[in-house]
Amino acid sequence: MLATVWRIAEMNALLSVDHARVNVKECVLYTTLEPCALCVGAIRMLGMKDMRYAARDPAAGGLGLLDATDFMRRGGVHAEHLGCLELEAALIAMHTSALLSIHPGNPAIEPWAAAGLAGVELGRKLSASGELRRMADGSGASIAQAIDALTRLNGQVEEEQAPSLPASGAATPSPMVLLLIGAPASGKSTLGRRLATALGMPYLSKDLFKETLFDTLGWDDRGWSQQLGSASMALLFRSAAALLKAGQPVTLDSTFYPQLHEPQLRALGERYSCQFVQIVCTAPGPTLVERFERRALSGERHPGHADAASLDEFRSRLLTERWDALDLGGSVLTVDTSSGELDIEGLASSIRQLSKATR
Ligand SMILES: [Zn+2]
């Protein structure tokens, strides 16, 4: 019904279910693109528990909302990326090509390009070549011919984008990605900065990007802070990719959320065959709350974060949620940041050992 106005496939699927006979709470919803805000709302309101999506949507994807309010979190909706990067790239290519067919240079593809997702370049090529359009316009091309055209164009893109290979005989470099994992105020930044210095590694932090954006664009309320937060994550991943492409290791500091960031990290891992080392920072819930409140109210934190406006929400999240290692493979070290002075040298040498062992 609504499809006449909006293209909302998930809503249409949910509307077409005979709810008298099918219990959607026991169903798994599969979608191509990450669902939009409207569909995420519908999924939650229907009490669905499980969904899989093939491609992220940095422009209109609404999965972040699952975590946005108490009500949404209570739904416990599990959303999982299918993890097939080829499929994701093909879907993004088709989406990019469709956007460009609406008008050339469509600014709607900017968020896709900025997120560094594979498939955008292929989409541009597809659109420029006009091959899909010609096939659709009536030559009666088969699916096999369409797949063939896609594969050929994709080969060209990969050749252009492939990182230069090491000289033959040289060991394949597998740069280390050191990830600081943990709740807000768990001590990630303090530890991350000191470890990166001790290891002689570049240190990238979402908050540093975000504060730079606040200083150049200004700050306002929590909504603006969240918008710049997404931009900062995109910058973090872009910068990390640039370093890894050059064979450099990198330290990444952010509050990572599994459903949002695991797919992006896995994609980096595959593309640059890097090795992950995760440092999980822990502290008891009440300590986290105390630090978060002090930080929010003391003025030691950039005012743009608007932490004071979210004290109540974070108080309950810090006490109840788990902030575990991500499912990425590689090594995991856990550091309790509440118990006295940290042994930076000891940790750094453990990390060096791990890095050698997995090389
Ligand atoms: Zn939708």
Report the b/e string of 235-245 with b at 16+ CB within 10 A: bbbebbbebbe
Output the pLDDT for position 167: 40
Output the pLDDT for position 179: 97
- Same-domain check for residues 141 and 247: no
Q: Find all residues with CB under 8 Å of 44, minimum gap 6, and list them.
A: 66, 71, 72, 75, 77
Q: What token pair was written down for 113?
A: 């390009």
Summarize pLDDT for 251-275 with one digit per residue, the tens: 999 999 888 899 999 999 988 889 9
Rounded CA-CA distance 126/115 in Å is 19
Q: How far is CA 333 from CA 279, 299, 340, in A?
A: 5, 31, 17
Neighbours of ion ligand 1 (CB under 5 A): 8, 35-36, 39
Q: How far is CA 215 from CA 119, 185, 300, 301, 313, in A?
A: 33, 22, 15, 13, 26
Boundary-marking domain end, from 83, 100, 122 = 83
3-class DSSP state of 33: strand
On the question of pLDDT at 165 being above 70, the answer is no
Output the pLDDT for position 182: 94
Boundary-marking domain end, from 66, 83, 100 = 83
Output the pLDDT for position 6: 62
Q: How far is the CA of 58 from the centre of ligand 1 (A)?
A: 14
Output the pLDDT for position 357: 67
Q: How far is the CA of 57 from the centre of ligand 1 (A)?
A: 11
At 266, which CATH number?
3.40.50.300
On the question of pLDDT at 218 being above 50, the answer is yes
Q: How far is the CA of 33 from the centre of ligand 1 (A)?
A: 9
Q: How far is the CA of 204 from the centre of ligand 1 (A)?
A: 33
Backbone phi and psi for residue 198, each to the nearest 5 degrees, phi listed first: -65, -35
Per-state percent for the chain, helix, strand, coil, to nearest 5: 55, 15, 30
Output the pLDDT for position 349: 92
Q: How far is the CA of 68 from the centre of ligand 1 (A)?
A: 17
Task: Flag the least confident range among 53-67, 156-170, 184-198, 330-344.
Answer: 156-170
Q: How far is the CA of 34 from the centre of ligand 1 (A)?
A: 8
Rounded CA-CA distance 331/263 in Å is 18
- Same-domain check for residues 138 and 262: no
Q: What is the pTM of this model?
A: 0.57
Domain housing 273 = 176-357
Boundary-marking domain end, from 54, 83, 112 = 83
Torsion angle defined by CA atoms of residues 231, 237, 240 and 246, in that order, rounded to the nearest 10 degrees? -110
- Same-domain check for residues 280 and 334: yes
